[in-house]
Structure 1
Amino acid sequence: MFRFALTAAAFAVSASAALAQTEMPFALDWKFEGPAAPYTLAIDEGFFDDQGLRVTITEGAGSLDAIPKVATGAFPVGFADINSVMRFIDQNPGAPVVPVMMVYDKPPFAVVGRISQGVETPADLEGRTLGAPPPDGAWAQFPIFAAETGLDVDAITVEPVGFPTREPMLAQGEVDAVTGFSFSSTLNLIRLGVPEEDISVLLMADHGLELYGNAIIVNTDFAEANPEAVTGFLTGVAMGWQAAIDDPEAAIASLVERNPAADAELEQRRLQLAVETNVLTDAVREAGMGSVDPGRLAAAIEQTRQVYEFQTEPDPSLFFDGSYLPEGDVLMLSD
């Protein structure tokens, strides 16, 4: 009976701890592909559990997808393009959503083309057909890319395409280039049999863009009521990214559990491309993950103003809130 009582007491404590966990469903921007592995690994390694959080992850349908999900409170946290969030907040004053942790310090927005179809430089897009999914974050920034590179947009035929058909259409020669994330479109084309040497990647950040990329966003009402949970979530995210950098094979194994159809080798390469190009930049090595430079954010706002007319004077404090970031070395990523 004594042993039974101890077992029952232990179960009660365990159940109470489970009940005490804060539920935090997380809305991804895209599918369970390589760059999502740090989040699945963080779940499997117990990084969120250690913060008193029960995190579940839902796939998304593009860079804009998570913004209304979080703004409406359907999800407390999500992953979305900060530039699209800026426009959403401007168009929906008072919307309870804000970026709180920068992940893609260098955005993966790109135009990906076929060299065999004459696309190697931005100027080559004139006179050719560009496939662009309307909800795509890269397409949303294309006007800035065009302005910075002096493109005559009227000389480009823009073909609205769906995400599932974007790379297949380029692989089949139905379009000459597409907008997308560099690591996604490139590897999707390789998977479809396009020779790597025939793929050109025009990373917008290498052609004048000052913009940041995707960030963790939160519902501000949830964050104000649960500040410790938000900081705990960001702690788990940082730990997940470092763990994925340290052991990409384990990260991809975690991802494949959620997406058994994934090509593990391809997704590991996609993850490592995201780390090398977008996440672990020189700035992140020096200052840590998650924050933004006020001067660069101001420059990004001014750059956005070139192609987007703000309804009200933009307030940078509405576009990023770093007050929930954890303190200490957890944000100092290293390879």
Structure 2
Amino acid sequence: MLPFLALLLWVPGAGATRACPHLCVCYESSDFVDCRGHHLAHVPRGIPHSTWILDLRRNNLSSLETGSFDALWSMKILLLSHNGIGRLRPKAFKSLGFLEKMDLSHNLLAQLPPDFSDELTSLKELKAAHNRLSALAFGSLQHLESLEKLDLSYNQVASIEKGTFRGLSRLRHLYLQSNRLGVIYNGGFSMLQSLEVLFLGTNNISTIEVGAFASLHNVNLLALTGNQLIHLKFKTFLNIQTASTQLQLAGNPWACDCDLQRVFSKILSVRHLHVEDYANLTCASPGQLAGLPLLSVDTQLCVAETATVLVITVTVLVTVIAAIVMAERNRKKSQEKNWNESDGPFEPQEK
């Protein structure tokens, strides 16, 4: 009987001295409230004020209303993934000033409201992957001053405003893969001096402005795989002043010519830059090189150009020499003619 009673005391909610929301399970010893997978349409009422972890994953939440988490000052982790959340009302996160981790992934968010970060000044990790976000604005992120990890992958972000991330001075990991970015502009990642990992793979990036990564002083991994890059500018990566940076560049439709070979030759010669997947870079053009690894043809890409330059140089040199020779011949002929004319006709003397 005694062992049974001891077991009963450990059953979630058994012997609890505080209320627990209907359909949820409250683990009093760990301040964990588990409301997963109960088709909840609203954030339940009566969540204990001492709750540290609230799990609302896999429900039917369509919006977060104003004050949904009112008075939950102790909350550290809020899990909201796999719902149908498409709207965040003003002050939806009121009282969550000590929240450190929030998961909003796999929802229907098309935008983050201007006041999104107002109450989230202690947040260290934010997951908003697999939503419908199409743009990012400085206003919605500016107060996330403690944020260290931001996952915005698998959205529809087509552009990043200059200074969007400038309030995120402690950000270390930024995931933007599988969006719709086409151009990386100067200033897009300004003020991210602490950033260590930047994932930009599987977008539509075809252009990177020269100063786009200039402010990244600590980045050790920059992933640009699976984009639409044809050429690169050496200065784009030379501006990354770090102790060591790994670059991932495979899966782009490289135009393998002498210019590209020179750029990669320079990048590979820089001590702190390392193209991690250079062996996997593949040519998409010209046609005769399509499908071939860049590594297998890189030493040949400038041969034809060098030969062409050499032929042109020799041709010009021969032409110049021929012109000089002809000029010299004409000068001598002209000189001989002048001498003959100055002597006059030959007349024999009379006896």
Larger C-alpha radius of gyration, 1 or 2? 2
Where is the helix percentage greater, Structure 1 or Structure 2? Answer: 1
Relative contact order higher in (CA < 8 Å, ≥ 6 apart): 1
TM-score bin, normalised by smaller chain? under 0.3
TM-score (norm 1): 0.22
TM-score (norm 2): 0.21
